[in-house]
Amino acid sequence: MQSIRDMKSNFSTPSCSIPGGPDAYRQGNIRMTLENPELWKSFHEIGTEMIITKPGRRMFPHCKINLSGLIPCSKYILLVDMVPVDGFRYKWNKEKWEVTGKAEPQPPCRTYLHPDSPAPGSHWMKQSVSFLKLKLTNNTLDQHGHIILHSMHCYQPRFHVVQADDMYSVRWSVFQTFTFSETSFTSVTAYQNTKITKLKIDHNPFAKGFRDEGTNTKKRANRIPASTEKKAKEMDYLSKDSYEDSPSSIEEEVVKEEHYSPWGPDREHGHHGQTDTPPGPDVRDMYNAEQRVPNPASYQPYRFHKYGKSPSPSSNLGSSNGGSGRASFESRVPDVATVPEHEASKPSVNEIRSSPCGPQPLAGHHPDYTGVLNIAQAGKPGILSHHIYSPYGTEQTLGQWSGPSHAQYPPPHHLPTDYSTPAVHHGYHHGNVAEWSQYPLFSYSCW
DNA sequence: TCCCCTCACACTTTTGAACGGT
DNA sequence: AACCGTTCAAAAGTGTGAGGGG
């Protein structure tokens, strides 16, 4: 059997490697920034855990983003999906995560559709976009359209911006994908790390009843051992800039990041004395997170791999910490979330599509936009009709859409992904269909 | 025995209907 | 009739801890 590491090395690593750095996608004007980065980082430092339940559980913190650089009058669809960070299953053992075996087979891939979709760029840009209602479940037979995950696995949310007038044109629409490494998390059915529990209680309004200083002190006092309570007090500083009342400025965050990076030097003597995230390039501003692929290296400072030849960042600590961490990470990461540079910068026939501003084709817009969005069908010569070839497959329904059903559209069916449709993978840029199947990009596997 | 999962529970916030005033 | 603000009950979202299954 091929080792996971080997499998991953088979990935053709597309443009997210971005030799030219952020510029490679700066040519596109779309910018996505994460709201409440401080809060996310607070969790990320400890090792974010997200509860998954059968009926579905919201994320906390929930994903909230800001968008800019969209064409105001063009319509866009926003999507979120979750990709596995690595191929392992974990267990919580004595204050740290350990690899306990190979990951379970991928559950049916689901993509959460933002309920406002489709909406003009101006709509998305005028305020932050919240994915509050996104729910995670471990029920593989879920009928509600929640995102299905395996417990004790690591995942990375991905945000997709699709330029499309409606749900049906999504198949041949252009899109761009963004990830934020600090949003990666471990799915659990019950919290493992008490520090995470504490953070959640302190910041989630629904959990107020469990706060020490809350009105419901009786319950907590009886349950929490004195030592735990002491620890909790130590973390009170986090409550002060609570997520609820301090929407942090992202621009400020960019500056702060360098001092406050969870991967900074002081992480070394952090809670676990383990740092697995490459410094340097990853001490990035939020814009640099654009199109970043799932970032296992940046995740889980506490993750401790003892399973086989672990791809754990800790295993390449020695080299990565010197600043080459990024490179080593790239070498083993399926760079699925991105579109090759050559395509990103290439005008495409696919741009010949109706514009929300009028019947003109997109190409009729400002040329600046030709590089803004990644073209789903770019690079395929002779594709003048979107119907001839669609990376999304014409036979697929929109069943994979998650999220509130839109009156305008048929209710989601949430059919399992048909990974066996190689045609949809082909004309794109990644030859390795199998790998795509394992780490599905929404445009291929979820529709 | 251990690990993981499910469930009922008490508590909270959110939502939306109902109502009254302008 | 339309709009706005308030009230209140129901719904939904939390973590906890007991209990069960493998």
What does the domain layout of chain A look like in residue ranges? 31-207
Residues with CB under 7 A from strand B: A 53-54, 91-93, 100, 138-139, 151-152, 188-190, 192, 205-206, 208-209, 214-216, 218-219
Q: Give the long-range contacts of residues A230-236, CB within 8 A, separation 24 or more.
A: A231/A194, A231/A195, A231/A198, A232/A198, A235/A195, A235/A198, A235/A199, A235/A202, A236/A202
Q: How far is residue A409 from each of residues A89, A110, A166, A182, measured CA to CA in Å?
A: 37, 17, 9, 33
Is pLDDT larger for residue A58 or for residue A23? Answer: A58
pLDDT band at A213 (very low <50, low <70, confident <90, very high): low
- Shortest CA to C1' contact from A201: nucleotide: C15
Q: Is the CB of A51 under 7 A from strand C?
A: yes
Nearest protein residue to nucleotide B2, judged by CA and C1' positions: A93
CA-based nearest residue to A177, from A40, A74, A80, A39? A80
What is the residue whose two structure tokens read 């579109």?
A: A339
pLDDT band at A202 (very low <50, low <70, confident <90, very high): very high
Distance in angstroms: CA A315, C1' C2: 67
- Say yes or no to pLDDT of A319 above 70: no
Q: Is the CB of A190 under 7 A from strand C?
A: yes
CA-based nearest residue to A19, from A412, A326, A379, A363? A326
Percent of chain A residues topping a pLDDT of 70: 41
What beta strand segments (E) does A346-402 contain?
354-355, 358-361, 401-402
Which of A10-19, A97-106, A217-226, A234-243 is the least confident region? Answer: A10-19
pLDDT at site A155: 96
- Residues contacting residue A60 through CB under 8 Å, at least 6 positions apart: A50, A200, A203, A204
Distance in angstroms: CA A128, C1' B15: 21
pLDDT band at A174 (very low <50, low <70, confident <90, very high): confident
CATH no. for A31-207: 2.60.40.820
Nearest protein residue to nucleotide C17, judged by CA and C1' positions: A223
- Shortest CA to C1' contact from A58: nucleotide: C13
Q: What positions of strand B are covered by protein, i.e. any atom < 7 Å from a CB?
A: 3-7, 10-14
Q: Is the CB of A197 under 7 A from strand C?
A: yes
Percent of chain A residues topping a pLDDT of 90: 32
pLDDT at site A371: 27
Digit-coded pLDDT (tens) for A419-434 = 333 222 222 222 222 2
Q: Is the CB of A271 under 7 A from strand C?
A: no
Q: Are A150 and A138 in contact (CB under 8 A)?
A: yes
Q: Is the CB of A100 under 7 A from strand C?
A: no
Which of A150-159, A264-273, A437-446 is the least confident region? Answer: A264-273
- Say yes or no to pLDDT of A76 above 80: yes
The encoded tokens of residue A45 equal 């430092």
- Say yes or no to pLDDT of A211 above 80: yes
